[in-house]
Amino acid sequence: MAWNLRRWRRRAMFLSLRTLLRVIGFRHARTLGSWLGDAQFWFGWPQRRRLQREIAQVLGRQANDPSVAVLLREAYRVNNGALTEIMSMFDQRQPESVLAARCELEGLEHLRAAMTEGRGAIVLATHMGNASLAMIRLAQAGWPVSLLYRKARMMSTGFFQSGLEQYGIQAILANGGIRAYGQMLSALKQGRVLFLMMDQGLSKAENGMMQRFLGKDMPMPAGPAQLARVSRSPVLPMVALAAQPLWQFAIQPPVAIGQGSLEADVEFLTRLTEEQVLQRPQLWSWHHRRWSELPMAPAHAPASSVQAPQTNER
């Protein structure tokens, strides 16, 4: 009963927000999301105080350091603004010129060189701003793009898939298990650019490899490393550089994968992703449930020896 009520509330919230976004249009979607981020920061004080303590610990700062509150507030504004912008552009297709004016993407020379090998390329992104906009920019420029996505509890069924496909992006549902893995491998064999993320962990410990990520023990997906090993496709990190005055991303040169064990590769990609967050912590979604709801790990305990808490996700 309680689960059904939560589901109904999320559904009602999604429909209300989608209606509002249709009224104000894509142009003002990010501003609305930033305001909602401010409201969540100020009125969600229990979560805010806990996150400030945890972020301070991750960054090696004092618990009452005022700079932590500043960067956390910015993270709320940046990522809530990205969410509403994504909802708006997926709900109603936006002109190429409008999207191009919102995003700069550097490092295409690295992707172009990697694609000459004929095995596609894995672009490893993070939940730092509107990375979906960078993918759309690539697709609109003629690159064959595929994306692995997860069902969002708030969104309608098929919302992400139809939103991506209207921009010419192949949408692969991560919840499909082995079928999703086969689709990703096929995409790489076809010479496509596959966008993946691994910075929010998995809901079940048995589906990933335990890693210490930003001070918390969580099961991290082995899929990106496993795909790279099997397909021999290059892995190129995509980093977020700035959120204002427009989204700025950069595709970096390929990183070395497959020279050791799978466990070593997962560890390497976890540390690489962690470093990207630490370089610009104000751009990462600290308040996302797949990190924020987990407890901080004991400093003395290795990640591999800790059992990951189970979430209520369905």
Most confidently modeled range among 34-38, 153-157, 259-263, 288-292:
34-38
Q: List beta partners, residue 194.
A: 122, 146
Judge contact between 122 and 196, C-beta under 8 A. yes
Q: Out of 93-107, 146-160, 261-275, 288-302, which region has the weakest mean confidence (pLDDT)?
A: 146-160
- Establish if 310 belongs to a structural domain: no
pLDDT for 307: 43
**Segment holding 205, helix H or strand E:** none
What are the pLDDT digits (tens) for 193-222? 999 999 987 877 667 899 999 999 999 999
Q: Which of 184 and 310 is assigned the larger pLDDT?
A: 184
Instruction: Name the band, by pLDDT with cuts 50, 70 and 90, for residue 302.
Output: low
- Establish if 271 belongs to a structural domain: yes
Instruction: Name the band, by pLDDT with cuts 50, 70 and 90, for residue 309.
Output: very low
DSSP E strands: which ranges in the chain?
A: 103-106, 121-125, 145-149, 170-173, 193-197, 209-213, 216-220, 235-242, 247-251
pLDDT for 51: 97
112-115 LR contacts (CB < 8 Å, sep 24+)? 114/234, 114/236, 114/254, 115/191, 115/193
Of the chain, the end-to-end C-alpha distance in Å amounts to 14
- Establish if 12 belongs to a structural domain: yes
Number of domains in the chain: 1
- Establish if 313 belongs to a structural domain: no
The residue type found at 245 is P
Question: Tokens 């990375």 — which residue?
Answer: 131
Average pLDDT over residues 237-255: 97
Q: Helix, strand or coil for residue 170?
A: strand
User: How would DSSP label each residue in 237-267?
Assistant: EEEEEE-SSSEEEEEPPPB--SSS-HHHHHH
pLDDT for 308: 42
Task: CATH number of the domain at 69, please.
Answer: 3.40.1130
pLDDT for 278: 97
- Establish if 302 belongs to a structural domain: no
- Establish if 303 belongs to a structural domain: no
- Establish if 312 belongs to a structural domain: no
- Establish if 301 belongs to a structural domain: no
pTM: predicted TM-score of the whole model, two decimal places: 0.91
Identify the domain containing residue 257 by its residue range: 2-296
The most distant pair of C-alpha atoms in the chain lies apart, rounded to whole Å, by: 54
The pairing of beta strand 193-197 with beta strand 170-173: unpaired
pLDDT for 310: 43
